[in-house]
Amino acid sequence: MILTRGAYALPGTSLAYKTGTWRLQRPVHRHRAAPCHAACPAGEDAQAWLARLDEGDSQGAWESLVSANPLPAITGRVCHHPCERACNRGQFDQPIAIHAVERFLGDQALANDWPYPVSPPSPAAPEVAVVGAGPAGLSCAYHLLRLGYKARVFDALPEAGGTLRTALPPYRLPRGVLEAEIGRLLNLGIGFEPGVRLGRDVYLDDLRRQYPAVFLALGATRPRPWDVAGVVPAELHQGLELLKEWVSVGELPKADSVAVVGGGNTSVDIARVMRRIGVPEVHLITHRALPHPEVPEDDWMPAIPREVEQAQEEGVVFHPHTGVRRLVLRGQQLLGIELVKMKKLVQPDGSLKRVPFEGTEKVLRIEQVIPAIGEMVDPSGLESLLGCQEFLLVDAWGRVAGISGVFAGGDMRFGAGMVSIAIGDGRRAALAIAAYLQGKEPEAEPVKTIAYEQLNVNYYDHAPRAEPTLLPVAQRVGFAEVEGGLDTAQAAAEAARCFSCGSCLSCDNCWNLCPEPAVLKLPDEIPGQVRYVFDYDYCKGCGLCARECPCGFIVMEDEA
């Protein structure tokens, strides 16, 4: 080559100069938990399994899901899904329909018989006793298996499932799904002893002698006693008892008008059952407010908002911020109840108190009143542990204070009351039991979440949320399931809507937007591996990649 006079340089020779020496801050890849992960009581990382599904690997997505929650077909139907309220996408358009995709994956696993990613325990592994085959007990047994331990599950009833089986109405959780998922779980090698009641057939002290650790998950099966100023009507049936009867028999004696007292899931369920058996007039009385975005959440009635909505569609009349002041009786016969409006208000001393408003009393003529104001632990066999308390006191790992080797979780402990909370309790207790058997302290799981402001939403398109179809009200009879599922295309579309908060989306933004360029892309896409590397020889630390990363996966760190 002939080069003429004047200055010249060979192509790309600027690489000899390492502009990385200018840098004061360096970009690094940092995974942070998505808010759905932090909000899931069962400990699921929904972002992670939505990512697998978005990659087209639905079985991998399900395997990722069941690494935390072994019962997705069940929770996808009955969970109150706080993940969706936490979802960052909710601040952009609508949250991902996480529960519907969870149900889709659970149903796919049942249909295709995908094997749980768990190997059978070795015969020599220590065996842990689990009392109660509800969601907490089953979850604990499953996670013990994953950790290499054996589990033996005792239950007073002839079949596993606990409250899921006895009191969850089949229009929310069809029995076929329940049987299939729990059956698959028990087949993994979990020992199951049905018909064994604690305090009658077996005692806690015996279990403690025979097993190195015991997990108690007996649930809260006893309805909380109810009266109005010491008075109860004759022929009083508790909501929970009626619900259990309907679930097992499918029929109930019916009145012409009924008032259900209480704002939890049991009361909404029994109110909807009353409509299903043909009671024309069903009222629901609660101290709290209806779930509504403009009402502070701590005032919401504790029932799952979508169940409340469906109950309203089915004709249940809600009386929020209302209490029962008096039973209107003629002798033993109930004529009605006197209602009064009330609200929780801050008192001069700072405490919160329900204040009835004088002058708002009214009498509701009804034939039957059904209390469903909550459940408490059945103390039989646990008298020494419970003392005079309604619930067990345990720490965050489910360790019962004062007795080593005994753990508890689910509805038995104060503050639970939801299926996914019970599943999470079982998982954490299994971790704590494993640590206990190894003479260690369980390790805390720090979850640092990423906020909406840390994403760059300029790079996301608006897309409508896939809503599951609901059965028309006229067809909501008997055990017919109300909510439908998503099809494969809808589930894939939901997975594609996920912002991938705190995790790499392989979108090429950093690779495209680096002015140097100092971001290099690896030739092959390997699932689970970040595809981009920073070439710190040339990165000047401008921070553009971090600022423009849609997922907040890149953060700037000061150079030492």
Partner 1 sequence: MSTQEISLEELRQRQSRFRGLEAGHRACLGCGQALAARWVLEAAGPDVVVANATGCLEVFTTPWPESAWRVPWLHSLFENTGAVAAGLEAALKVQGKTAKALAFAGDGGTFDIGFQALSGLLEREHDVLYVCYDNEGYMNTGVQRSGSTPHAAATTTSPAGRARLGKRHLKKDILAIIASHHIAYAATASIAYPEDLKRKVRQALLITGPTFLHLHAPCPLGWGHDGSLSVEVARLAVQTGLFPLIEMERGQVIGVMPLRTIRPVADYLKLQGRFGHLFRDDPRAREELEHLQALADHNIEVFNLRADRPDPADSEGADTVRRGRRRF
How many residues sit in the footprint of partner 1 (CB under 8 A)? 55
Find the shortest distance in angstroms from Cβ 505 to partner 1.
5
Per CB under 8 A, contacts with partner 1 among 401-460 are 458-460
Closer residue to partner 1 in complex, CB, 313/535: 535
* Residue 1 in contact with partner 1, rule: CB under 8 A: no
**CA 413, CA 416: separation in Å to the nearest integer?**
6
Q: Does 113 bind partner 1 (CB under 8 A)?
A: no
Give me the 469-508 binding string for partner 1, x by CB under 8 A, dash otherwise. ---------------------------x---x----xxxx
Residue 407: closest CA among 379, 433, 435, 442: 433
Q: Which lies closer to partner 1 via its Cβ, residue 12 or residue 296?
A: 12
The correct pick among 440, 477, 520, 559 for binding partner 1 (CB under 8 A) is 520
Residue from 461, 472, 489, 560 touching partner 1 (CB under 8 A): that is: 461
Q: How far apart are CA 315 and CA 63, in angstroms?
A: 40
Q: DSSP assignment of 131-161, as one string? A: E--SHHHHHHHHHHHHTT-EEEEEESSSSS-
143 dihedral zone (left: phi>0; alpha: psi -120 to 50; beta):
alpha
Q: Does 509 bind partner 1 (CB under 8 A)?
A: yes
Residue 7, CB half-sphere, CA atoms under 13 Å: how many?
0
Backbone dihedral region for residue 417 (phi beyond 0: left; psi -120 to 50: alpha; all else: beta): left
Residue type present at position 83: C
Q: DSSP alpha helices (H): ranges in 212-318?
A: 239-249, 265-276, 305-313
User: Shortest gap between Cβ of 9 and partner 1 (angstroms)?
Assistant: 4
Tell me: does residue 544 bind partner 1 (CB under 8 A): yes
Q: Which stretch binds partner 1 (CB under 8 A): 5-13, 264-272, 293-301, 421-429?
A: 5-13
Among 54, 269, 425, 483, binds partner 1 (CB under 8 A): 54
For partner 1, the binding residue among 525, 528, 557, 559 (CB under 8 A) is 525
Asked if residues 419 and 409 have their Cβ atoms less than 8 Å apart, the reply is no
- Our finding on whether 347 is near partner 1 (CB under 8 A) is no
C-beta closer to partner 1: residue 457 or 477: 457
CA distance 422 to 511: 44
Residue 4 interacting with partner 1 (CB under 8 A): no
Instruction: Name the H helices within 187-250.
Output: 204-210, 239-249
- Nearest 5 degrees, angle CA 478-CA 479-CA 481? 120
Distance of alpha carbon 113 from alpha carbon 116, whole angstroms: 9
The CB-of-556 to partner 1 minimum distance in angstroms stands at 8
Q: Is residue 234 a contact point for partner 1 (CB under 8 A)?
A: no
Residue with tokens 């401008």: 542
Burial of 541 (0-12, 13-18, 19+ CB in 10 A): buried
What is the contact mask toward partner 1 in residues 32 to 51, using x (rule: CB under 8 A)? -------------------x
Name residue 354's amino acid.
R
CA distances from 294 to 90, 270, 311, 461 (A): 15, 27, 20, 27
**Between 171 and 538, CB nearer to partner 1:** 538
Give the shortest CB-296-to-partner 1 separation in angstroms: 30
Instruction: Among 127, 481, 543, 555, indicate the residue that binds partner 1 (CB under 8 A).
Output: 543
Q: Which of 1, 3, 5, 12 binds partner 1 (CB under 8 A)?
A: 12
Q: Rule CB under 8 A: say whether 558 interacts with partner 1.
A: no
Helices assigned H by DSSP within 90-131? 98-112
Q: Do residues 340 and 322 make contact, with C-beta atoms less than 8 angstroms apart? A: yes
| Integer Cα distance of 301 and 286 in angstroms | 7
Residue 337 or 495 with smaller CB distance to partner 1: 495
Q: Judged by CB under 8 A, which stretch of 15-23, 103-111, 191-199, 227-235 contacts partner 1?
A: 15-23
Q: Are strands 127-131 and 362-365 parallel, antiparallel or unpaired?
A: unpaired
Give the integer Cα–Cα distance in Å for 391 and 408. 11
Among 14, 332, 347, 351, binds partner 1 (CB under 8 A): 14
Candidates 438, 529, 557, 559: give the one binding partner 1 (CB under 8 A).
Answer: 529
Q: Give the contact letters, 131-150, x = binds to partner 1 (CB under 8 A), - = no.
A: --------------------
Per CB under 8 A, residues contacting partner 1 are 7, 9-19, 22, 51, 54-55, 458-461, 496, 500, 505-509, 512-513, 515-518, 520-526, 529, 533, 535, 537-538, 540-544, 546-548, 550, 556
